[in-house]
C-alpha cells in the first residue's frame, strides 16, 4: 500500500504544494505583516500560503483515503519519455540560443523532433529543419524586424 500511495500523483503533488505553501508562509513572516500605513508586503502572501497548505493537506488526505480502493492505471513510460525528451531538447535549444542564435538552435530542435521523436528519415528531418528555421527567420527578424536571440555568428 505504501508504494501505491507514493505513486499517487495527488499525494506527491499535494506534498510539493504543501511544502511550497510552507515556504510562502515562512517568507511572508520575514516581511512586514501590518504597519502604520496598513497591510504590509507579507499580509497577502501569508493568507494564500496558509490556504495553500490547508488545501494541499486536504488533497493528500483525500488521496490516501481513496488509495485503498482504487488501482492506478498502468503508466506508459515510453510515451512519457518521448514527451520529456522533447521538453529536454526544447530546453537545450533555448540554452544554446545565447551561443548559436535562434536560427541554428531552432533548426537543431526541429531536426531532433522530426528525426528522433517522429522517426522520419534524416533527409526529411534536415529539409524540414532548414525550411522551418529559415521561414521563421525571414518572417520575424527580417520582414517584421522582430527581435530574436542572436548568437556568436550574429544571427
Partner 1 sequence: MDALSGLLHGFQVALQPANLFWCFVGCLLGTIVGILPGLGPAATIAMLLPLTYKMDPAGGIIMMAGIYYGAKYGGSTTSILLNIPGESSSVVTCLDGYQMARKGRAGAALGIAAIASFVAGTVGVVGLTLIAPPVAAFALSFSSPENFALMCLGLALVVLLSGQSLIKGMLSMLLGLWLSSIGTDLFTAQARFIFGQAALLGHIDVMVIAIGVFAIAEVLSSIEAGDDAKVLPVPRGLRNLLPNMAELKACRFAFLNGSVTGFLLGCLPGAGATIASFISYGIEKAVSKHPEQFGQGAPEGVAAPEGANNADTGGALVPLLTLGIPGGSSTAIMLSALVLWGVKPGPLMMLESPDVFWGLVCSMYLGNVMLLILNLPLVPLFAQILRLSAYILFPCILGISIVGAYGGSMFNLGLVVAFGLLGYLMVKLKYPAAPLILGFVLGDNMERALRQSLMMSQGDLTTFVHRPISAIMLGLAVLILLTPLLGHLNRLRVRAITESG
* Look-up of cell digits 499580509: 43
Q: Which of 32, 33, 66, 153 binds partner 1 (CB under 8 A)?
A: 32
Phi and psi at residue 146, to the nearest 5°: -85, 140
Closest CB to partner 1 among residues 69, 107: 107
CB of 24 to partner 1, least distance (A): 6
Residue 70: alpha-carbon gap to chain centroid:
29
Is 34 near partner 1 (CB under 8 A)?
yes
Q: Measured between alpha carbons, how far is 86 from 111 in angstroms, rounded to an integer?
A: 11
Q: Measured between alpha carbons, how far is 112 from 117 in angstroms, rounded to an integer?
A: 7
Binding mask 3-22 for partner 1 (x = CB under 8 A): ------xx--x---x--xx-
Which residues make Cβ contacts (< 8 Å) with residue 89, sequence separation at least 6?
A: 109, 112, 113, 116
Q: Which cell numbers hold the place of 52?
A: 495553500
- Residues of this chain that bind partner 1 (CB under 8 A): 9-10, 13, 17, 20-21, 24, 27, 31-32, 34, 37-41, 43-45, 48-49, 51-52, 55-56, 58-59, 62, 76, 79-80, 82-84, 86-87, 90-91, 94, 97-98, 102, 106, 109-110, 113-114, 117-118, 120, 128-129, 132-133, 136, 140, 144, 146-149
Amino acid at each position: 500500500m505504501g508504494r501505491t500511495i507514493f505513486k499517487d500523483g495527488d499525494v506527491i503533488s499535494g506534498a510539493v504544494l504543501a511544502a511550497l505553501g510552507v515556504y510562502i508562509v515562512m517568507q511572508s513572516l520575514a516581511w512586514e505583516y501590518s504597519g502604520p500605513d496598513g497591510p504590509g508586503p507579507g499580509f497577502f502572501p501569508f493568507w494564500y500560503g496558509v490556504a495553500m497548505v490547508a488545501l494541499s493537506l486536504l488533497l493528500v488526505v483525500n488521496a490516501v483515503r481513496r488509495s485503498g480502493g482504487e488501482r492506478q492505471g498502468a503508466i506508459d513510460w515510453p510515451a512519457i519519455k518521448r514527451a520529456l525528451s522533447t521538453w529536454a531538447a526544447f530546453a537545450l535549444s533555448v540554452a544554446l540560443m545565447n551561443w548559436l542564435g535562434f536560427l541554428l538552435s531552432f533548426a537543431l530542435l526541429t531536426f531532433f523532433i522530426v528525426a528522433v521523436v517522429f522517426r522520419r528519415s534524416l533527409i526529411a528531418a534536415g529539409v524540414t529543419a532548414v525550411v522551418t528555421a529559415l521561414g521563421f527567420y525571414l518572417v520575424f527578424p527580417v520582414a517584421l524586424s522582430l527581435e530574436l536571440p542572436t548568437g556568436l555568428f550574429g544571427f
